[in-house]
Every structure is written in C-alpha cells, then in structure tokens.
Amino acid sequence: MQKLTLLNRCFPHPFVSFLVFLSWLMLANSIHIASLIFACLLAVIIPLLVRPFIAHTPRINWTAAIKLFFVVLWDIVISNFRVARMVLGPIDNLCPKWYRVPLDTEHEQVNTLLAMIITTTPGTVSAGIDQERGDILVHALSCDDTELDIQEIKKRYEMPLIKVFNVKIAEGVTPT
C-alpha cells in the first residue's frame, strides 16, 4: 500500500481540486482575496468529501483528450445547424431511425463517455448501453445510412476515447 504524504492527504484528486478552485473563481466572478481563500478551502474540502466515490483516477492521454474535446465541440456546433435546418424544413425529409453501435471495448468509462457524447450531439440520442450485448442503442433524428453513421461514431468518438484511456480492445473484436 502506498504511503500517503500530507500533500496526497490534502489533495487526493489534484485535478478535481484545480477544477473546483477554477469553477469557484468563475462563479464568483472575482479574484479578491476572500474569493481566492474560499476557492482554496473548497478545493481542499470537496475532493476530501468525494474521495470515497472516486476509486482511482485513470491515466489519461491528455493530448488525445484535448483533440477529442475539439472534435466533439465542432460536431456539436455543426450538428446544431443541421438539426435546425431539418426541423425548420419539410418534415417529410426526416428519416428517424433506431440503430445499434457495437462497442469495441468493455471499459466502463469509455462506453459511458461515448454514450454521453452521442447524447450531446444534436440529432442523436443515446437510448442506453447494453453491456451484455456489447452495444449502444442510438436514436437518430434523421439517418439515410445507418452503417455510415455507425462508422462515423466509431471513428470520431470511440477510437479517440480508447486512445484517451489507453484501453485494450475487447477480445474477438476487430476495430472498425
């Protein structure tokens, strides 16, 4: 078992502490001494309170994570325009579909974040992860080619998520 230093005991999750500190300063919209002191207190107390709920912090490839963030941000902006055009246009042009996206890994964080990304991208809604079946059920507002949509989801989101968490692909699965 790893010996905990004073720094590790005060900051069990340094990234969470940093996010809490920064979030408080943004919410307070101030960098006065009182705001800084309160942000520091929160940055120590909140991670200590949530320590039992965060088993371990996974190793993350930050370069891949930042690239994925910008890909998702771009896709959200572009999808908003596409959805607005579809919704404001003739309803006959809509072709809603349900389809399943097979998962290349059993890694919970990768699969959960993939479902969240699908949900945040306008025009698609993740209906649920089926771990036993190894797929995510997706509802698309309009879809002409489900296979193309599946390949886009896997290429743009799932593969980068696998790189972010440095996860091995499940046995018997060939990455698409």
pLDDT digits (tens, 9 = 90+) for 61-91: 989 999 999 999 999 999 999 999 888 988 8
The confidence score (pLDDT) of residue 1 equals 47
CA nearest neighbour of 112 among 122, 100, 103: 103
The confidence score (pLDDT) of residue 12 equals 76
CA nearest neighbour of 158 among 119, 120, 101: 101
**Dihedral angle computed from the Cα positions of residues 107, 162, 23 and 121, in that order, rounded to the nearest 10 degrees:** -100
Beta carbons of 42 and 23 less than 8 angstroms apart: no
Can you tell me the distance from the alpha carbon of 18 to that of 23, in angstroms, rounded to the nearest whole number?
Answer: 8
Each residue of 120-175: pLDDT tens digit?
988 888 778 888 888 999 999 888 899 999 999 999 999 999 999 998 776 655 55
Residues 6+ apart with CB under 8 A from 109: 58, 165
CA nearest neighbour of 86 among 8, 128, 143, 139: 143
Can you tell me the distance from the alpha carbon of 33 to that of 10, in angstroms, rounded to the nearest whole number?
Answer: 21
pTM of the predicted model, to two decimals?
0.71
